[in-house]
Chains A and B, each alone.
Chain A
Amino acid sequence: MIVPMKKATLIVLREDRDAVTSALQRCGELMPIPPGDAPPPEAGQAAESLRARQALSAIRPYQEKRGMFAPRREVSAGELLAPGEEAKDLLGRIEAASAACEEEKARLGELDARMAELRPWLRMDIPVEALAGTRSAGVYSGYIEPRSAALLAETAEAQGGTAVLLDTGPQGTAVLLYTYRPEEEVLLEAAAAAGFSQALPPCSGLPAEALKELEKRRAEASAAWEAAQAALGALAKKRDELELLCDQTEAAEERAQTPYGETVQTVYLEGWVRADRTERLKKAVDRVTDCCVLSFADPAEGETPPTVTQNNRFVSQFETITDMFSRPQNGELDPNPVMAPWYWIIFGLMMGDAGYGLLMLLGIGLFKKFKKPRGDFGKLVNVLWFSSIPTIFWGVIFGSYFGETWHPILFAPLDNPMAMLVFCMVIGVLHIFSGMAVKMTASIREGRFWDAIFDQLSWMMLIVGLGLLFLPQTRTAGGVLAIVGAAIVLLTAGREKKGFFGKVIGGFGGLYGITGYVSDILSYSRILALSLSSGVVGMVMNLLAGMVQGSVIGFACSLLIYAVGHVFNLAMGLLSAYVHDSRLQYIEFFNKFYEGGGYAFRPLQINPRFVDVTDSRENQGGN
């Protein structure tokens, strides 16, 4: 059912604002409505949670791997709402260590680049300062492309000078060019033409000594880098605290974004609250302040409250299937109580194998026990888990065990596909009828009794009548039923239209809707297709495994084929059943009665990512 909502108006003194917001978040019952002139949220807290997240990613390379099934840390709500100074200190230390780490890494890179530049000059045995030359001899240093080096040497010789080729580095081959001053200009021009570009070695004094100095500094930087990494690695052990801080700052950020309206002395907040939980909200606020106004009102005309569905433990898990299509609107009928059993039954039919059902029951059960999935994903896992029961049931009915047929109670789909096809169609008709029945109930409740007869009952008669035509014993009754149903549709489908011709065309147009019903019902043949496909693939796996048996090694191989083959088939079967069962609900079932279009109830609440809150109030329907 859909829970009625109340609109709450809360006015508190300015100084109580923070305490009240914390109380609201802890109680998790109020979904604030942003006022039209909401001030922009403060940026301070957002920066905090961003810092925490960045620090988390900084220590990620250093932290220990957690097991797949490691349980989440549990903390109390009070702990989560009050960030400790210690964690903030930790955040600062991680940021400092991470910055130091980055800095040392950059320094290392810079030193490496400088050393690479210096290396070609190592063989130069005169200090850089001596490169000025003497009165009659000039010395020039520079680089040349390695392939032009020989050419340069020849040019220099020809002009009465000498080119000493040193080693090659990233900028080219280092060259010392000695010239005889009187012929210097000619030589330099010729050298430039050969590709020589003048440059001083990137150091002072002897290059070899400069390199030694750089190497010393690199060793220091390297040690500092390792120290910074070690520090970060040590801090990575405090990942739990940092994750907690991350959740804390995010919760604080959400509090800061609560859209309060303001007056001089007070702040006010409007929001939706479940009609049956107003007392809880009142208590939570009263606990922190005795000076406040809290009033509740029914939603006014034109206001659409968010949707909270409340169902029993079984049905509520299937809400996630409906929500993925579209949430029901507040005030509409909740489709979940009708949809859930059908989804459950049809899922079982599509899987239809007792062995696979047993695997699902155990496998998903173990997954649930160790991983504790929560939220929408948790509900989906529960849906699959619950569906193992009908899978086993139908597997026994149809005698299918890991793809092998063994004593079917009804019949085996593989041996008698026609019977299974008819069975699927009958399931489909019942499924569609139950959707139409929901629509009829809603129409009658709204006082439109005849609409229910004309739009739904007539079609039910027509479809049942057509179905009965196939059996010889009921052929007459079926014919009568079908004709009466068709006549009602023909006569009433155009009743909203104006004029005689409009009504006639409307009537025929309505009758044409039979194609829609036929295609809807035929669509249920996919149940047969899916159950056949998982059955046959399972059978093939057994066949393959049977072929290799015969020796010890063959037997071991066959075990491997059994395991891999059936797990693959089970996974593909689960995917297909989930997708196609959802489709049958969304397209064939929902279009008979359901509109949807509601939006989720997202109260201000504690919603941690990394930890579990132990003493928070139970939050049904809060998502």
Chain B
Amino acid sequence: MTLGLILAIIGAALAAILPGIGSAYGVQIGGQAAAGVVSEKPELFGKLLVLQALPGTQGIYGFLIAVLVMVRTGMLTGAPAALSTQQGWAFFAACLPMAVVGLLSAISQGKAAVAAIHMTAKQPDSSAKGITMTALVETYAILALLVSVLMVFIGIPV
């Protein structure tokens, strides 16, 4: 196993770890707020569940990048490529946009989701507006995902 491969594995691991932590936090604060509202208004459960789930996508995006790195480096087939150290750093760097932005945007999106949940509690009809406001935060996670995907997929020759 080369140092390059180890660096790529660390990158993939970070892409799975950091956005996962962020999403878990975002979904957690959303869940706390939603549980409080549901205790008084059980009929809002469906609407609030959607809001709570929104910060969860970053975790999936991070997971996606991790899998793509594993596919590109042949880890899944059991015959990992002998990456050079430079290639390893390149994979590591390609994972960073998703890892860092995924972590922070999921936390931010969780906070926006909490506010939207409070709004839905007071005005159940405006839940779609809350969903839209919360989804705006995700744009930057999506951009980071795209950058990471393009780098991992076509940016690095293996």
Quick one: which of B54, B61, B129, B150 contacts A324, CB cutoff 8 A?
Answer: B129
Known contacts A575-B53, A583-B136; is A418 also within 8 Å of B150 by CB?
Answer: yes
Binds B, one of A243-251, A531-539, A611-619: A531-539
**What is the CA–CA distance of A115 and B13 in the complex, to the nearest angstrom?**
66
Query: Does A325 contact B128, Cβ atoms closer than 8 Å?
Result: yes
Assembly CA distance A341 to B68 (angstroms):
33
Closest to A540 in B: B67
Residues of A within 8 A of B139 (CB): 523, 526
The complex places the Cα of A582 from the Cα of B136 at a distance, in Å, of 11
Which of B25-33, B88-96, B99-107, B141-149 makes up part of the contact surface? B141-149
CA distance A526 to B146 in the complex (A): 8
Residues in B with CB closer than 8 Å to A586 are 132
Is the CB–CB distance between A583 and B132 below 8 Å?
Answer: yes
Q: Please report the C-alpha to C-alpha distance between residue A536 and residue B62 in the assembled complex, in whole angstroms.
A: 12
Pair A537/B64 contact, Cβ less than 8 Å: yes
Q: Does any Cβ of B come within 8 Å of A529's Cβ?
A: yes
**Chain A binding surface, main DSSP class:** helix
B142 touches A579 (CB 8 A): no
A438-465: CB near B (< 8 Å → 1, else 0) gives 0000000000000000000000000000
Q: Provide the bound-state CA to CA distance between A532 and B148, in Å.
A: 12
B60 touches A537 (CB 8 A): yes
A58, B28: Cα distance in complex, Å = 35
A residues less than 8 Å from B60 (CB atoms) = 533, 537, 572
Tell me if A529 and B128 are in contact (CB < 8 A): no
Mask, B36-54, CB within 8 Å of A = 1, is 0000000000000010011
The total of Cβ contacts below 8 Å across the A-B interface reads 67
In the complex the two chains form, what is the Cα distance from A325 to B153 in whole Å?
Answer: 37
Q: Is the CB of B50 within 8 A of A575?
A: yes
**What's the minimum C-beta distance from A178 to chain B, rounded to whole angstroms?**
57
Interface centre among A529, A532, A582, by most chain B C-beta atoms within 10 angstroms, is A529
- Check if A311 is an interface residue, CB within 8 A of chain B: no
B35 within 8 A of A: no
Partner of A528, one of B56, B67, B132, B146: B146
Interface centre among A324, A325, A421 (most CB of B within 10 A): A324
Contacts of B76 in A (CB 8 A): 543
The residues of B that contact A324 with a CB separation of less than 8 Å are 128-129
Interface string of B126-143 (1 = CB under 8 A from A): 001101100110110011
CA distance A450 to B153 in the complex (A): 47
Within 8 Å CB of B61, what residues of A? Answer: 529, 533
What B residues does A529 contact at CB under 8 A?
61, 142, 145-146, 149
Q: Is B85 an interface residue (CB 8 A)?
A: no
Most buried by B among A537, A539, A576: A576
User: In the complex the two chains form, is A537's CB within 8 Å of B146's CB?
Assistant: no
CB distance from A588 to the nearest CB of B (A): 11
Knowing A324-B128, A532-B149 touch, does A579 contact B136 (C-beta < 8 A)? no
CA–CA, A192 and B143, complex, Å: 80
B64 touches A583 (CB 8 A): no
Residue A299 lies at the interface, judged by CB distance under 8 Å to chain B? no
0/1 per residue, A506-532, Cβ < 8 Å to B? 000000000000000011011011001
A239 close to chain B: CB less than 8 A: no
CB 8 Å contact bits of B73-88 with A (1 = contact, 0 = none): 0001000000000000
Residues on B with beta carbons closer than 8 Å to the beta carbon of A537: 60, 63-64
- Whether A525 and B128, one on each chain, are in contact in the complex, defined by CB atoms closer than 8 angstroms, is no
Interface residue A587 (Cβ < 8 Å from any Cβ of B): yes
The reply to whether B57 and A572 contact each other, CB–CB distance below 8 Å, is yes
Contact B131 A582, beta carbon cutoff 8 Å: yes
- How far is it, in angstroms, between the C-alpha of A523 and the C-alpha of B136 when the chains are bound? 11
Instruction: Output the nearest chain A residue to B141 by Cβ-Cβ distance.
Output: A529
B47 to chain A, nearest CB (A): 10
Q: Check if B1 is an interface residue, CB within 8 A of chain A.
A: no
A525 and B146 contact, CB distance less than 8 A: yes
Cα distance, A324 to B76, chains bound together (Å)? 44
Contact A579 B135 (CB under 8 A): yes
New A-B contacts (11) at CB < 8 Å, excluding given A325-B128, A533-B64, A543-B76: A324-B129, A526-B139, A529-B146, A529-B149, A533-B145, A536-B67, A572-B53, A575-B53, A579-B54, A583-B132, A587-B132
Interface CB pairs A-B, < 8 A, 30:
A325-B128, A325-B132, A417-B149, A417-B150, A417-B153, A417-B154, A418-B150, A418-B154, A421-B150, A523-B139, A526-B139, A526-B142, A529-B61, A532-B64, A532-B149, A533-B61, A536-B64, A536-B68, A537-B60, A539-B67, A540-B63, A572-B53, A572-B57, A572-B60, A575-B50, A579-B135, A580-B135, A582-B131, A582-B135, A583-B136
Across the A-B interface, the 6 shortest Cβ-Cβ residue pairs: A324-B128, A526-B142, A529-B142, A579-B135, A536-B64, A583-B135
B residues near A (Cβ < 8 Å) are 50, 53-54, 56-57, 60-61, 63-64, 67-68, 76, 128-129, 131-132, 135-136, 138-139, 142-143, 145-146, 149-150, 153-154
